[in-house]
Structure 1
Amino acid sequence: MGASKSPTATPTTTQTNYSRKHGRDDGINGVSNAGATGGGSGGGASHKRRKKAVSGPDGDTPMTDGFPETPVTVAEEPRVTNGCSVGVQVEDIVEITAEDSVILGQEDKSILICAWNPIHSNVLATASQDSIARIWNVPMNATSSTAIQNKVILHDPSSSPKRDVTAIRWSPQGDLIATGSYDGQTRIWTTDGLLRHTLPPHHGPVIALKWNRSADTLLSLSCDGKVIAWDALTGDMRRSFEQAKEDQGKGGQAEAATDMDWISERQFAICGSGGSVGIYDLDHDSSLNADTSHSGEVNCLVWDECSERLASGGEDGDVLIWEKPSKILQSFKLQGHTEAVVSLCWQPIASSPQPTKRILASASNDCQVRLWDVHSKTCINILNSHDDPVEKISFSPSGARLASSANSKVIIWNAETGVITHVYDGLKGRRKNGRVIAAGAETDADIGEISWDESGARVAIGGGETKVHVLMPASPPAILSLLQQQPPK
C-alpha cells in the first residue's frame, strides 16, 4: 500500500469538544466557558439532543438509522437533486456484530479515545476516564477471547479530581505518544509506556494535540482558548498563542481557539469561536494573517499537503477552502449542509501524486456526509443513511473506504461509489425487534473516535461505556492475506 501524501488526520469538532462529549461545563478560573454545554462534572452521558423518531404502534421508538431488521432498499430513500449523487446505494451489506469484533478496555471506565499507531499496525492506544491510557498489541488474528497484552500509562493524580485522559496523539514516526488530560496536563511517552516529559499545565482541559512532521514540536489546545507549542525533545515551551485583537470574532468579542492543524514544519493554522481562521508560526506571537469569512464558530480545521489547501467547517454549515496561505487569505465556499459542520477529512492519496479530483469529506449535524471535489468546487456525493447528527468521519489509509458514526452506529462506505459495505450497531443489545428498548433515553454509547489501522483492514471505535471495539471490515480474501503475513505465535 503506497504512502499517502495527505495523511488522514483525526479532526476535532467544536469548541469545548471534550465537554460536549462528557456532559461537562469547562470552566476557567471558576468561570464557565461561553457556549459550553452539558451538566455536572461526573463524566456521565452526553446531553446532546437526539432527533426524535416517530413512535411505533406499541409506543416504542423505531430504530431509524436506515438499518432495521429488514434492510432499507434504494427506492425507500428520499431523493433530492443538487448536482451530485444522493441517497444510499445498497449492495450486500455486512452487519458487524459484537461477536465479530474484539472488545478492549473492559477493566476501564468509559473510553472515548483510541488511535492506531501510524507505523505499527498492531499497536493501538486507548484512553479512559480513570486517568489511564493503555498501549495494546492487537494481533490481526485476535478474538475477544484472546489474551491481548497491554502496557498501562498511569497518569498520577493531580490536585484536581478531574484527571480523565482527554486527548492522545501518536507522533508521525510512531515512537512517541502524547496525552492530554482534564486537569490541563500534557505528557509525552515512549511506546514502552515510559514518561519522557510532563509539560506545564493549561488552565483548562486539553482537547487536541498535533505533532509536526519531524515530531520535534507538539501543539496542545485547551479549553482555556490557548495553543501552546512545546519542544518535544526538551519539554520546554516554545511559545504560547492567543488570538490577538485582529483575530477576534465579529463584534470585537474575545475568541477562543477551537481547532488547529500544521501546514508546514513551522507554520500552523488556528480557528476560533468567533469565526476566524489565522496562520501562525513558531517565531511570532501574533498571526501572520487572519480572516473571518465564517459567520459563526469554526468547529474543525484540516490541512491537505497534496493540494496545499486548508479546509474549515463551521456552525454556519459552510465548508471553506483556503488557498495556499500568503499575505492575504483567500477562500471559496462549499455550501449544501443545512446545519453545523462538525468533522472534515481529506481523502488520502495512495497512488497518483496529481489526481484529477481532490476529495474532501464533511460531516454535519444535518445527518449527512458530503463528498466534495475541491478542484471543481462541486459536491459529488451525499451519504444520507444516518438519522442522527453525524459525529465522526475517517477515511481508510488507502482512501478506498470511509467510516462515519452517529448515535452509536458506524457505517462503512465505498468512497468511490457511495455504496454501504458494512454496518456496526453499538446499541444492538439495547434494542428489541429493531427498536430502542427505552424510547428517547440518552445513552453513553456515542462514538468518540474512529481510527483505521495502518493496513486498512481494521477500524477501532471508542464507544464510551461500550469500551473500544476493533472491527474488521475487510473482505475475506484480504483478511486471509493479512493473516498469512502474521508471524507464528
Structure 2
Amino acid sequence: MTKSTITSTELNYIVFRYLQESGFTHSSFALGYEAGISKCDIDGNTVPPGALVTIVQKGLQYIELEANLETSELDVDDDFSLLQPLDLITKDVNELQQIIREKKKEKLLKECDKDKEKDKEYIQEHERQLGGERERERQDRDKDQERDKEKMERDKEQEREKEKQHAERKDKARIDENGGSGGPEPMDITPSSQSVPCEISSSDVTILEGHGSEVFACAWSPAGSLLASGSGDSTARIWTIPDGPCGSSMQISPPNVHVLKHFKGRTNEKSKDVTTLDWNGEGTLLATGSYDGQARIWSREGELKNTLIKHKGPIFSLKWNKKGDFLLSGSVDKTAIVWDTKTWECKQQFEFHSAPTLDVDWRNNNSFATCSTDNMIYVCKIGENRPMKGFSGHQGEVNAIKWDPTGSLLASCSDDGTAKIWTLKQDKYLYDFKEHSKEIYTIRWSPTGAGTNNPNQQLVLASASFDSTIKLWEVEVGRLLYSLNGHRQPVYSVAFSPNGEYIASGSLDQCLHIWSVREGRVLKTYRGGGGIFEVCWNREGDKIAACFSNNTVCVMDFRM
C-alpha cells in the first residue's frame, strides 16, 4: 500500500475547516490560519494521517481555553493575541494559560517602566521649574531689598535735611533772642563728654573670615570659648576664641575653626542655607536648622551626629529645653516638632497653625509656645493633642516670642508694630505696647528679677524695630522705660549682658551699639563693614560677637 503524505498547509486547512464547520469561528484562530502555520517548524515535513486526531484534540482544548477565559473579565481577543499559532498546536490548556499570564506580566512591567520614565521626566521638569521660581523669588527679593535700601537712603537724606533746617531755625531763634550773633551760646549746644560714645577701633576687634555668604546667626557655647555661626553659604562654623584681648594680634594666628557642611560634594547648595542654631545646656552639642527642612546635630568638634528629617519646609527656629532631653523646631510647613534626644526620633508633631511657624520657645522642660504668620500664638504641652492656650490679638505676623526667666509671662512682637505681654491666667494680653512706629523684629528679656542670678534688679523687656529704635519696657507697671535712638536703620538684634546691666544692639546701619540699661545711653560703638543680623554675649560677659552681611563674624572685648 502506498504511504500517504500531507503538508502542514493542507493539514492546517483541514483543521480550520473542521473547526469552522463545528461552529467555531474565533478570530484569533482564524488569524493563526491566515498567518499561515505552514511557516512553523513542521512546514515541509511529512505528517502521518493519525496526527489529525491530535490536532483536532488541540482545537477542542483551544475551545475549552476560550470558554475558561470568557468566564472571566478578561479580553479574550487580547489574551489570544499573546499566543503564537504553533503554541495552539503544541501546548495544552494549562501551558497556554501560563504563557498568557507570563506575557501579560511582561507587558505590565513594560508599561510600568514607561510610567516610571514619564514620572521621572515630570519630576525633573518640576524641579527645573521650581529652581527657576526660586531664582526669580531671590531676584525679586534682591530688587525689593535694593528698593528698600534706596528708600532708606532717601529717608535718611530727608531726615538730615530736616535736622539741618531745624538746627538753622533754632540758631536763628537764638540770634534773634540775643539781639545779634555776639551773645554767648547756651551750654547745651555742645553735648557733654559723657554722652559721646567711645568708638571701638578695628584694631581691637577680631574679624573671623571664611564664610562665603551672609552670616545670619551666631551663638556662644554656654560651656567655654566656642562660638558658632551659621551662613547663607550652607555651612555653620565652630570657632575657638582664645582667652585674652581681641584685636589685630589674633589675626596673625587665626582661631581654630571647624566647618560644618550641610551639603555633599564640592559646591554648596542654596537650599541648605543655615537659618538658625542653638547649643545645648552643656555646650556639648550644636543644633542647626536649614532651609532644606532638616535639623542637624553636631559635636563641639564639628562631627555630624544626627540628621532629623520630618519637616517639609525650612526650619526658622530651634531650641533645646533646659534639661536637654528634648529639642524643639519650628518650620515653614506650619508645624512644630519635639525631638527625643535619646533616640533622635520625633516625639510629637504639633499642627495647630494655618501658616508658617516663625518662632518657638520653651516655657519649661515640657511646655512651650509657638508663633506664626497667621497672627496666632499657641502654648503647647508634650503629650497633649490640643493647645493649652491660644492667644489672638496681633493684627500682623508674629515674628518672635520669649518667656520671661520664670516662665510666667510670655512676650510677643509683630509686624503690627506692637509688643504684647501674655499670661496663662487670662485670654487677653496683659500689656499692649504701641510706641513703635514700624514692625518689631525681635524681643529679649533681661536676665534679672526673680529666678535669675540678678534678683535685685527689675525685670526689663527690650524690643527692636524697623523704626531704628530699641525700646526698654518696665514690665511690672507696663510702661516705657527708655527709647534708645542711636541707630539709623532697622535693628535686627538685641542682647542683654549676663549681669543685665548692658545691652548690645545690631542694625543694618552697620553699627553695633553697647548701651547702659540704667542710664539709657550709648557707651560704646563699633562700625563694621556690613549690616548686622545678630549679636550675642559670651557666658562671662567680657566678649561680644556679631555676624554681618559682608560674610564676617566680629568678636570684641567689653570692659568698663
TM-score bucket of the superposed structures, by smaller chain: 0.7 to 0.9
d(CA) in 1 for partners of 2:144 and 2:512?
19
Change (3 A) 1:470 1:161: closer
Q: Who is 1:9 aligned against? A: none
Match status 1:311 vs 2:311:
no
Change (3 A) 1:447 1:107: closer
Change (3 A) 1:272 1:210: same
Match status 1:124 vs 2:227:
yes
d(CA) in 2 for partners of 1:88 and 1:413?
17
**What is the deviation of 1:108?**
3.9
Write the letter of the residue equivalent to 2:472: L
Q: Who is 2:504 aligned against? A: 403
Change (3 A) 1:42 1:365: closer
The two structures have a TM-score, normalised by structure 2, of 0.64
Q: Which moved more, 1:287-296 or 1:141-150?
A: 141-150
d(CA) in 2 for partners of 1:102 and 1:333?
40
Among 280, 287, 290, the residue aligned to 2:387:
287
**What is the deviation of 1:270?**
0.9
Q: Who is 1:221 aligned against? A: 330
d(CA) in 2 for partners of 1:31 and 1:320?
39
Change (3 A) 1:48 1:216: farther
Q: Who is 1:146 aligned against? A: 253
Instruction: Verify the 8 A CA contact 1:426 1:466 in the aligned structure 2.
Output: no
Q: Who is 1:137 aligned against? A: 240
Equivalent pairs counted in the alignment come to 398
Match status 1:332 vs 2:456:
no
Q: Who is 1:168 aligned against? A: 277
**What is the deviation of 1:138?**
0.7
Q: Who is 1:473 aligned against? A: 558
Q: Who is 1:388 aligned against? A: 489
Q: Who is 2:366 aligned against? A: 266
Write the letter of the residue equivalent to 2:387: S
**What is the deviation of 1:286?**
2.9
d(CA) in 2 for partners of 1:255 and 1:56?
38
Match status 1:200 vs 2:304:
no
Change (3 A) 1:39 1:160: closer
d(CA) in 2 for partners of 1:367 and 1:374?
22
d(CA) in 1 for partners of 2:187 and 2:524?
16
**What is the deviation of 1:275?**
1.7
Structure 1 residues 184-218: Cα deviation after superposition (integer angstroms, max 9, x where no partner): 11111111222221111422222111111111111
Question: Which secondary structure state, in structure 1, belongs to the residue aligned with residue 203 of structure 2?
Answer: helix
**What is the deviation of 1:43?**
8.8
Q: Which moved more, 1:160-169 or 1:131-140?
A: 160-169
Instruction: Verify the 8 A CA contact 2:293 2:312 in the aligned structure 1.
Output: yes
Structure 1, unpaired ranges of 5+? 1-26, 65-72, 78-86, 245-253, 428-444, 476-489
Instruction: Verify the 8 A CA contact 1:110 1:129 in the aligned structure 2.
Output: yes
Q: Which moved more, 1:209-218 or 1:90-99?
A: 90-99
Which one has the largest radius of gyration? 2
**What is the deviation of 1:104?**
0.9
d(CA) in 1 for partners of 2:147 and 2:324?
35
Structure 1 residues 260-281: Cα deviation after superposition (integer angstroms, max 9, x where no partner): 1110111001112122111111
* Pairing 1:5-44 to 2, within 5 Å after superposition: 39-40=138-139
Instruction: Verify the 8 A CA contact 1:243 1:257 in the aligned structure 2.
Output: no
Instruction: Verify the 8 A CA contact 1:135 1:193 in the aligned structure 2.
Output: yes
Change (3 A) 1:74 1:404: farther
Question: Which secondary structure state, in structure 1, belongs to the residue aligned with residue 138 of structure 2?
Answer: coil
Change (3 A) 1:352 1:155: closer
Instruction: Verify the 8 A CA contact 1:258 1:300 in the aligned structure 2.
Output: yes
Q: Who is 1:24 aligned against? A: none
d(CA) in 2 for partners of 1:298 and 1:41?
23
Among 296, 320, 338, the residue aligned to 2:420:
320
**What is the deviation of 1:419?**
2.0
Q: Who is 1:420 aligned against? A: 522
**What is the deviation of 1:100?**
1.7
* Pairing 1:237-256 to 2, within 5 Å after superposition: 237-243=346-352, 254-256=354-356
Identity fraction in percent: 29
Structure 2, unpaired ranges of 5+? 1-126, 165-185
Among 147, 150, 153, the residue aligned to 1:52:
153
d(CA) in 2 for partners of 1:74 and 1:295?
46
Q: Who is 1:99 aligned against? A: 203
Structure 1 residues 29-63: Cα deviation after superposition (integer angstroms, max 9, x where no partner): 95999xxx963499999557242357879xx999x
Question: Which secondary structure state, in structure 2, belongs to the residue aligned with residue 162 of structure 1?
Answer: helix
Write the letter of the residue equivalent to 1:473: F
Instruction: Verify the 8 A CA contact 1:279 1:288 in the aligned structure 2.
Output: yes
Change (3 A) 1:74 1:45: farther
d(CA) in 2 for partners of 1:355 and 1:286?
38
Change (3 A) 1:47 1:218: farther
d(CA) in 2 for partners of 1:318 and 1:160?
37
Q: Which moved more, 1:387-396 or 1:343-352?
A: 343-352
Change (3 A) 1:356 1:167: closer
**What is the deviation of 1:136?**
1.4
d(CA) in 2 for partners of 1:132 and 1:54?
36
Change (3 A) 1:216 1:192: same
Write the letter of the residue equivalent to 1:425: R
Instruction: Verify the 8 A CA contact 1:343 1:362 in the aligned structure 2.
Output: yes
- Give the structure with the larger helix fraction: 2
Change (3 A) 1:395 1:365: same
**What is the deviation of 1:352?**
6.6
d(CA) in 2 for partners of 1:470 and 1:417?
25
**What is the deviation of 1:255?**
3.0
Structure ranking higher on relative contact order (CA contacts 8 Å, 6+ apart): 1
d(CA) in 2 for partners of 1:413 and 1:308?
27
Match status 1:463 vs 2:551:
no
Change (3 A) 1:381 1:183: same
Structure 1 residues 102-159: Cα deviation after superposition (integer angstroms, max 9, x where no partner): 1113364332221111121x11112223332221111123522223112222223399
Q: Who is 1:344 aligned against? A: 443
**What is the deviation of 1:357?**
2.6
The two structures have a TM-score, normalised by structure 1, of 0.73
d(CA) in 1 for partners of 2:314 and 2:419?
27
d(CA) in 2 for partners of 1:89 and 1:365?
29
d(CA) in 2 for partners of 1:313 and 1:340?
8
- Give the structure with the larger strand fraction: 1
